[in-house]
Structure 1
Amino acid sequence: MTAVITGLGVVAPTGIGIEEHWSSVLAGDTAIKPISRFDASSYPVRLAGEVREFDAAERVPSLLVPQTDHWTHMGFLTAEMALADARIDPAEVPEYDMAVVTAASSGGTEFGQREIQKLWSKGSRTVGAYQSIAWFYAASTGQISIRHGMRGPCGVIANEQAGGLDAVAQARRMLRNGAKVVVSGGTDASLCPYGLTAQLSTGLLSRDSDPARAFRPFSEDACGYLPGEGGSKLIVEDAEHAASRGAGTPYGEVAGYAATFDPPPGSGRPPTLRGAIENALADAGITPADVDVVFADAMGEAGADRDEAEAISAVFGPEGVPVAAPKVLTGRMYAGGAPLDIVTALLTIRDGVVPALPEDWEIHPGYRIDLVRGAPRRMPVRTALVLARGYGGFNAALVLRACGT
C-alpha cells in the first residue's frame, strides 16, 4: 500500500486556497500584523498571523456556524477545498471506506470563552448546548465526518505542533488497515483573550513589538515565536484507489515518518529530534543524501533553535541541505502549522522552487545550516523532509516524495 496526497485545502494568514498561499510565500509577504480579533492592547503580545479575509457566514453553512468554533469553521472549508481539489465526491465513495483524522491543539477556545462569560455574567441557563462539544479537541473531526458521511475510523491527535505530522502518519496507518480515503491535517484558532493567555503561560511567545523582528528563528536575536491561526486539510489516499478513479498525478507520497519524545528538562539526556529524523529516513528507505530540502520547525526560541540546527547538521552535515522556514510569514499555527508546511513542501516539489527568508536575515553563527534566504531557490526537488515539535517534548518527522521517485 502506498499513501499519496491527492487534494489540498488551505486557510492561512498567507491566503485562502493553495495558489494564493503559495504566491504569498514565494513573494515573502508577511502576514504578521497587530491582532485585530480582539483588543490586545493590554497584553504583552500584540502581534499574530490572522486569517483576515475569512468570513464564516460566507464560507460555512448557516446552521453550522453557531454550533461550532472558529477553528472548526476553517476546518470545514479546508476539508471541502481538499475534497474538491482531489475530485472526490463523498457520495460516490462507500461511507465506511472514508476516514477522518485531524490534529488539534487548543480546541474551541473562542467559543468556550464566550459561553463561560455568559455563565459568569448571566447564569447557567444562558449557556448554549453546543458548548458541550464545540470546544472539544475532536469537534472538527466529528463535524467533518458527519457533514460528508464519512463513517470509517475517525480520530484526533493532540500533540501541539507535532500533531499535524502525527495525524498524517495516522492517516497512512488507516489506509494500511483498509480505508481508501482519509481527510487529515489540522487547523487551529486561538486568538482570543482566553487562548492568548493560555499560550503566554509557556513563556515562549515573543514580546517584541516590531513585526519584522518579533519572530526570527535561527537568528542571534531570536526571542520567541508569534501565534498564528488557520491550517490545511489533506486528502491522503491509497494510490491504487486514486489511480482506479482517475485522480491524476498526486502531489506526492507519504514515504516515511517517525516520532520521538524528549527526556525531561534537566535530566542531562539530549533531545531526540535527530532520532526522529533518522528513523523517518529509515522508514522511507532513503539516506540523508536523498533529501533535497528540509522544512524546519523553526520555533524561534534560542535553545530550541540550537537543538534543531544541531540535529539537522548532525544528520545532513554542516550546511548539507537547504532549510526552509516559511512559518515566519504566518506565526506558529500549532495544530495547523505542520499541515501547512506539508502543503508548502508539496508545492515546492511540484514547482521546483524553495521559499526563502528575507535577504537581511542574519543566521546565528553557531548554526551550521543552509537557511534559504533572499530570492527563492530554484532547484529540482524530489524529496522533502518536514519537521515539527510540540510543547512538552513531542517531535515528528515526515518524508514526502514525488510520485514515481
Structure 2
Amino acid sequence: MNLQDSAAIRGTIVYCRYDPGADDASEALRIIEDGLLVIRAGRIVAIGAASDLLKELDAQAEVVDRRGKLIVPGFVDAHIHYAQTDIIASYGEKLLSWLERYTFPAEMRFADPEVARDTAAFFVSELLRNGTTAALVLGTVHAHSVDALFGEAQQRGMRLAAGKVLMDRNAPEALRDTAESGYRDSQALIERWHGCGRLSYAITPRFAPACSDAQLAAAGELACHYPDTYVHTHIAENVDEVAWVAELFPWSRDYLDVYDRYQLLRRGSVYAHGIHLSASEHQRITQAGAATVFCPTSNLFLGSGLFDYGRACCNRLTVGLATDVGAGTSFSMLETAAEAYKVSQLNGVALSAGRLLYLATLAGAETLNVDDRIGRLDIGYEADFVVLDPEATPLMARRNQHIDTTVDRLFMLMMMGDDRCVHSTWVQGVCQHHRDASD
C-alpha cells in the first residue's frame, strides 16, 4: 500500500457499515480501538489498526494523535431551516400558528441580502461546530438566500443541498412568489449551483397548503427536467395540517397523493416529519425510492406527535435524522439522537448506540442517496469526520471512568453529548472547526 504524501488521525474509530437494526447486524458496527484514518486529497486512503498502518506511513507524515477520543463519520442533518436560526426557542405555538407568529416574520427579513449573508455565515459555522458536515437545508422564498448559503458552504468544502422555498398562497404577500417566478428562479439556481463541487439543489415547495395547484405542477416539471435534484418538503407533521390538506385538495386520497399527482414523489424526494402517514403512504414512499425524516426535537417542541421509527422500519422506509432548527431546539445531532432515543422508548423501542450513530450519519447519507460517498469511514470515501471527546464535561469525565466498552462510551456520548463534545470537525480531510484553536 502506498501511503506517501498522506496525513493521518489516530483514535478510537467507530462507524456503521449498514443499519445495526437490520436482521443480520452482527457486523454492522465497526470499532477499531486504536485506529488510524489515513487521508490524501480529501479522501480516505486507508483505515485500520494504528500498529499496522503507522509502519507504512512516510516518516514525515503528519499524525494527529487523538487517542482517548472517538472518531466517527461527520453528522448528516437531513432537514433544517437556516432562515429560522434566529427564532429558535420561541415560545408556545403549534405548527400552523408557529409559522404565522414566528417563521414568516423572520423569513421576511431575508428580503435584505445582507441578512441572508450574515445568517448563512453563522449557520454554516454552527453546523460545523456541532459536527455536522452535510445537510439538506431550506432557504426562503428569496433566491439570494440560497446564493448566500451555497457560497458559505462552498468556502468550507461542505456537502450541502438547499433550495429556494416555493410558496404562492396561505402566506404573507411579501413571502409569496408565483408558479412562473418560482420555476424561473429555481431553474436559474439549479443551473448556477447544482453539481458545483459538493453542492446539490433541492426543489422546495414549502408544504402542500402553501402551494397552489399551478405551483405544485411547476415544481413537478422542474423535478422531471432535473431528475438528479432533490425534492424537499414537509408532510403529515401535524393533525390540523393533515386535515387542512384534505380540505384544500378534496380529490386526494391522502397527503402523499398531492405530491404524487404533481410528480413530486420519486427517488430523491425527502419528506420531513411524516408522523401521521398511513401504512399505504409508507409503502408508496418506499416503492418510489423516496425518504422521510425523523425530527424529534421539533416534533416534541411543537407538540406534533411521536414519530414511530420502529413502525417506519418495519415498513422499510428510508429514514434520516434531523434537527429541524428553528422549531428544533438544538443544532446538535447528539442532542437530537438523545431525543430520538426517548421518543422511541415511548413507542416501545430501545435504540442501541449503534442505531443512534447510524441515524446521525449513514442513514442521513442514504436519505440523500450519497451513502457511496459519505456516512462511513471507508477507503475511497470523502474524509468527513468528527472527533468526539467523552470527557468534555466534569460529569461526562466522571461517568467515563466507569465505562468499560466503546459501545457504552458511544451511548453515553449520544445521551449526554452536545456541541461541547465536538473536539474537531473535518471536511474533506481539513479541520474546519476546533473546540480549542490553540490545541
Q: Same fold (TM over 0.5)?
A: no
RCO (CA 8 Å, sep 6+): is it higher in 1 or 2? 1
> Which one has the largest radius of gyration?
2
TM-score in terms of structure 2 length: 0.26
TM-score in terms of structure 1 length: 0.27
